[in-house]
Every structure is written in C-alpha cells, then in structure tokens.
Amino acid sequence: MISPAPTYRDLIERGARAHEERIAMIVGERSYTFADVNNRANRLAQALVSSGTGKGARVAVLLDNGPDSIPIDFAFAKAGLNKVPLNARLSRDEHVRMVVEARCDFLLFGQSLSGRAAELIAAAPGLTPLGLGAALAGGPDIGALAETQEPVPPLVATDHADVVLTLYTSGRCCQSNANSSPHDAVRALRS
C-alpha cells in the first residue's frame, strides 16, 4: 500500500522535528529555532481555534512582517484555516472588496494596522476582529491568548484539498484576482 503524500501541515511538523535546535529565522537581534517557531505556531493555532475559527474559515490577515510572520502561516495550516493576506499598501476600498469577495469571517490584524482594521470591521458587517498584540471590541488579542495555550497542535484534521491560502494578485484593468491554493499546491511550492 502506498502511503498518502504529506499535507502542508505534515511537512511543517516533520521539519520541526527533524531540525528542532537549528536556527529557523532571525528577526533583528533575536534568533528562533525550529522548535521555537513550531511551539509558537501551535500556541497561535490553539488560540485561533479557541476564538471560534473553524476548519475552513476564511481569515483576512492584515499584519506587518515580524517575529510572528512564519508562525502565523504555520498556525493557519495547523488549524485548517484559509489565510487571505491583505497588502497594507492597498486602499480601504480594495481591502473591503477582497474581504467581501473572499467571504472572510475573521480579520487578524496587528497593532500598527488597528485603525484600518476598525475601518474594515465597520465596512464589512459580520467580520470578527482577532488582534495580534492588539484588540478591538468584539474580538480577542490572539497573541495574549496564545501565551496561555499548550504548545501542541490543535485537534483539527486537515486534508489535501483544504484551502490554506487565498491570494490576491494584480489583475488586468487594475482589478485584483483571487487564487485559492489547497495543501497540495502549497506543499508543492514549499518542497
């Protein structure tokens, strides 16, 4: 019997186990091992799940690059979420169009972008805010919540066909186009 190909989540877990003590990333003067990144990703995934996101939920992400950039990507794969990254340089109207078109249920945002997050929450009824080092009324600070979680993956089954990324790219006539990628496609990119 042929064993099934690993999902993107499987590859994350496998890589973390194989390279636990190796440096995975450096941010400023601080270095993080694969174990550090994986533990943070597990805690963030647990926090996302405990905040009401469910497998397949579409979560718009409005964050600056920083120490949680890679752990957030991995947390989304571990929690079975569909990440819809929003480029902070785009206009409010472009963000609203993407959030509505992608049918996002949640918005994960950082403190430096909390003003834009508040605008999006007001413009897209039903969008639940999830802060990272920040909070808006109606939503938790996922970063603070993650600190209270165990560093183990959430009990969420993922499948090869689960969409993990909906990416908007420049399209024709100044319109962005959305492309959705399941575990198989992301795994192929990362291999």
pLDDT tens by residue, 47-85: 999 998 989 999 999 999 889 999 999 999 999 999 999
Instruction: Report yes or no: 45 and 153 within 8 Å, Cβ to Cβ.
Output: yes
Judged on CB neighbours under 10 Å (0-12, 13-18, 19+), 71 is buried
16 touches 37 (CB < 8 A): yes
Provide the whole-model pTM.
Answer: 0.87
pLDDT of the residue at 180:
63
Q: Which residue has the higher pLDDT, 191 or 48?
A: 48
State residue 122's pLDDT score: 93
Share of the chain above pLDDT 70, in %: 87
pLDDT tens digit sequence for 156-167: 888 878 888 888
Rounded to an integer, the average pLDDT of 103-109 is 95
Angle (CA) 138-144-145 rounded to 5° is: 70
Q: Quote the CA–CA distance of 110 and 133 in Å, as a whole number.
A: 6
Burial 112-133, CB ≥16 within 10 A → b, else e: ebbebbeebbeebeebbbbbbb
pLDDT at 173: 44
Over residues 145-161, mean pLDDT: 89
- Give the whole-angstrom CA distance, residue 72 versus residue 76: 6
Q: Could you tell me the domains of the chain? A: 8-190 (3.40.50.12780)
**Amino acid 181: pLDDT:** 57
* Ramachandran angles phi, psi of 121, nearest 5°: -60, -40
Cβ neighbourhood burial of 81 (10 Å; 0-12, 13-18, 19+) = buried
